[in-house]
Amino acid sequence: MLTIGAFAKACRLSPKALRLYDELELLRPARVDPETGYRYYAVEQLERARLVAWLRRLGMPLARIRQVCALDGPAAGREIRAYWARVEAETAHRRDLAAFLVDHLTGTSGKDTTMLELRYAALSDTGLVRPANQDTAYAGTRVLAVADGFGSAGAHASTAAVEALKILERETHETRDTRDTLSAGNVLNLLDDAVQGATRAVRDIATADKEVGTTLTAMLWTGSQLALVHIGDSRAYLLRDGELFQITHDHTLVQSMVDEGRLTVEEAAAHPQRTLLLKGLTGGDSVPSPDLRLQDALPGDRYLLCSDGLSRVLADPDIERTLASVPDPEEAARTLVAGANDAGGPDNVSCVVADVVEATEV
Ligand code: MN
């Protein structure tokens, strides 16, 4: 038996930490002297104590450490890997926010003499199976948005979320007329306010049913860049130089399992819970934390926002082929929706296609 002092030294945890872990039942001493209250530890407990110490250094919360310690080696390994994947996802979110600010504060594109504008089309279709359309698609001079509502009042939720974003068209109207670009803090605040507004609007609708909600993938045109806000499993793609890039990350259970190495992409596509969302705008109490991203706009860029009714039915190469071969945004959107319906149209399908073009008016 080791005294608490000797045990602490051997496992590099402080006696104070050991007393706390005892109270939390994370690491009970092998024996407590009934007279003195002194704690004694067995040599065999060192391994677990060292694991606890290293997991603490990793930043893992104590409750999670207790779970890991209860598992056998391989299961504990998987748990640690899953924990770390989540930490990296959170860090990536902050990294994006930092990149957003850096881009905005150092960006020179606003000084470019070429005036750019968007040419756009939005189309939403019920599909061939669903009784109603709960998607909402919108495109305007400043705002592009796709929302995929779910639950009993899903259609109201997606409409309300997009309506709340449309305020950005009006609030930035003057800026557009002077062809000035929006400043950094301005864009973030505008987006933040708009998302808060969308959240309130969804909550008002979802008062009776907390399961009601919507995804929201939207872009705000600043005059030289596109600010993206994204929550849920609708998607944004960029077609640049004939190549298609998915620029959003699905907030779904299966995508997180793919990220954690627990599922392959193929397994995810066939998973029974493949549509289960980890994040969305809902009637629940959780505060939404949408992804934010800033895209530099180049003439010739084409953006696609779509609901999962398109991306689950058409493979990326098919989407790429249509976007690259149909020049008119409206016709491109129509062709994509028709493609989803040709493939059975199992879900509502929505597309926004927007081209970055040189401005025509002076
Ligand atoms: Mn859908």
Give domain status of residue 102, yes or no. Answer: no
Ligand 1 center to 212 CA (angstroms): 13
Q: Phi/psi of residue 279, each to 5°? A: -140, 150
Ligand 1 center to 160 CA (angstroms): 16
Q: What is the pTM (predicted TM-score) of this model? A: 0.74
Ligand 1 center to 338 CA (angstroms): 16
Ligand 1 center to 309 CA (angstroms): 5
Ligand 1 center to 70 CA (angstroms): 39
Ligand 1 center to 123 CA (angstroms): 14
The predicted-structure confidence for 167-213, as pLDDT tens digits, reads as follows 888 765 454 444 455 665 678 778 888 888 999 999 988 887 778 99
Ligand 1 center to 308 CA (angstroms): 5
Q: What per-residue confidence (pLDDT) applies to 145?
A: 98
Give domain status of residue 297, yes or no. Answer: yes
The enclosing domain of 61 has a CATH number of 1.10.1660.10
Give domain status of residue 98, yes or no. Answer: no
Question: Radius of gyration of the chain from Cα atoms?
Answer: 26
Give domain status of residue 87, yes or no. Answer: no
Ligand 1 center to 276 CA (angstroms): 11
State whether 153 and 282 are in the same domain.
Answer: yes
Boundaries of domain holding 43 = 2-70
State whether 187 and 336 are in the same domain.
Answer: yes
State whether 20 and 165 are in the same domain.
Answer: no
Ligand 1 center to 340 CA (angstroms): 12
Tokens 């605040």 belong to 189
State whether 150 and 298 are in the same domain.
Answer: yes
What type of residue sits at position 273?
A: Q
The enclosing domain of 317 has a CATH number of 3.60.40.10
Give domain status of residue 105, yes or no. Answer: no
**How far is it, in rounded angstroms, from Cα 121 to Cα 134?**
19
Ligand 1 center to 107 CA (angstroms): 36
State whether 266 and 328 are in the same domain.
Answer: yes
The DSSP symbol for 180 reads P
Six-digit token string for 203: 């909550």
Ligand 1 center to 132 CA (angstroms): 11
Ligand 1 center to 294 CA (angstroms): 25
State whether 209 and 64 are in the same domain.
Answer: no
**How far is it, in rounded angstroms, from Cα 187 to Cα 147?**
20
Structural contact between residues 146 and 307, judged by C-beta atoms closer than 8 angstroms: yes
Ligand 1 center to 348 CA (angstroms): 6
Q: Which of 46, 70, 94 is the last residue of a domain?
A: 70
Q: What per-residue confidence (pLDDT) applies to 127?
A: 97
Ligand 1 center to 101 CA (angstroms): 32
State whether 158 and 19 are in the same domain.
Answer: no
Q: What per-residue confidence (pLDDT) applies to 107?
A: 63
State whether 156 and 299 are in the same domain.
Answer: yes
Give domain status of residue 15, yes or no. Answer: yes
Ligand 1 center to 233 CA (angstroms): 8
Give domain status of residue 26, yes or no. Answer: yes
Please give the tally of structural domains in the chain: 2
Q: Which of 51, 70, 89 is the last residue of a domain?
A: 70
What type of residue sits at position 182?
A: L
Give domain status of residue 256, yes or no. Answer: yes
State whether 48 and 192 are in the same domain.
Answer: no
Contacts 24+ apart (CB under 8 A), 26-31: 26/52, 26/62, 26/65, 26/66, 26/69, 27/52, 29/4, 30/1, 31/1
Ligand 1 center to 33 CA (angstroms): 62
Q: What per-residue confidence (pLDDT) applies to 41?
A: 95
Ligand 1 center to 349 CA (angstroms): 7
- Residues 257, 68, 86, 210, CA torsion sign: positive
Ligand 1 center to 267 CA (angstroms): 20
State whether 159 and 285 are in the same domain.
Answer: yes
Ligand 1 center to 118 CA (angstroms): 26
Which residue ranges of the chain lie beneath pLDDT 70?
A: 107-113, 171-185, 285, 361-362
Ligand 1 center to 82 CA (angstroms): 27
State whether 27 and 139 are in the same domain.
Answer: no
State whether 118 and 243 are in the same domain.
Answer: yes
Q: Which of 70, 101, 128 is the last residue of a domain?
A: 70
Residues 6+ apart with CB under 8 A from 7: 18, 41, 45, 46, 49
The predicted-structure confidence for 244-285, as pLDDT tens digits, reads as follows 999 999 999 899 888 877 888 888 888 888 888 988 998 776
Would you give the distance in Å from CA 188 to the centre of its chain?
Answer: 16
Q: What per-residue confidence (pLDDT) applies to 93?
A: 75
